[in-house]
Amino acid sequence: MTQPLAGSIPQSVSIPVIPLREFLPWALFGGLLMLLLIYFVGAEQGATSLIHGRIVHEFVHDGRHLLGFPCH
Helices (H) and strands (E) in the chain, counts: 3, 0
Q: Rounded to two decimals, what is the model's pTM?
A: 0.59
Q: Is residue 57 included in any domain, yes or no?
A: yes
Buried b (16+ CB within 10 A) or exposed e, 27-36: eeeeeeeeee
Q: Is residue 15 included in any domain, yes or no?
A: no
Query: Residue 27 half-sphere exposure, CB side, CA atoms within 13 Å?
Result: 7
Query: Is residue 60 within 8 Å of 44, Cβ to Cβ?
Result: yes
Q: Is residue 50 included in any domain, yes or no?
A: yes
**What secondary structure does DSSP assign to 8-26, as a single string?**
PPPPPP-PPPPPHHHHHHH
Our count of domains for the chain comes to 1
Summarize pLDDT for 2-38 with one digit per residue, the tens. 666 666 777 888 888 889 999 999 999 999 999 998 8
Q: Is the pLDDT of residue 48 over 80?
A: no
The predicted structure's pLDDT at residue 69: 80
| Residue 46 belongs to domain spanning | 21-66
Q: Is residue 59 included in any domain, yes or no?
A: yes
